[in-house]
Amino acid sequence: MQKRCLPLLVSGLILLCPLAGLSAPGVSVGFSPEGTAQTLVLNTLDAATQEIRLAGYSFTAPDIVQALVRAQARGVDVKVVLDDRGNRSKTSRAAMNLLVSHGIPVRTNGQYAILHDKIIITDGRTVETGSFNYTRSAEKRNSENALVIRDMPELAARVPDLVFTRRPPVHK
């Protein structure tokens, strides 16, 4: 009996270890539709001082568009890569056009069946990721999550290699 319980106990501890990180000062988590996921994303964008890189599947959230425009206006270097097929609606096109009209480069990518990443890197130190699409539905109707990991430059440095450079843009 003890031999069978030990692997279960070890497995349980391994599974619980990441939960301990939720209380760490450099990690925050938010959920929607409760509203905390989008707040976390907006706070991350508003805290950026040098650079924002955003990759997303679908992009329609006006508050996120405005946060990116504000960042660009305060001198932050903002670049966006989005899934091509996930952003063909009028609402998505309007959001992308607004960014472009403010000098923010937006690229769509159709190289994969779905560019399903939802990730933001700010200032080479902070990473936001999770299921949270940058859309109105993600904030108001869907069950979504967002995880922000701060002050992890080694993680933030890997993300552009994994997300942005392996995906050459199809459209500019």
- Residues belonging to the active site: 116, 118, 123
Q: Angle at the Cα of 44 (from 39 to 48), degrees rounded to 5?
A: 145
Of 2, 1, 102, 106, nearest to 55 by C-alpha is 106
For 27, residues 6+ apart whose C-beta sits below 8 A from its C-beta are 21, 147, 148, 149, 150
For 111, residues 6+ apart whose C-beta sits below 8 A from its C-beta are 167, 168, 170
87: DSSP letter? G
Q: How far, in Å, are 7, 32, 54, 132, 142 from residue 105 at the CA level? A: 50, 28, 11, 22, 28
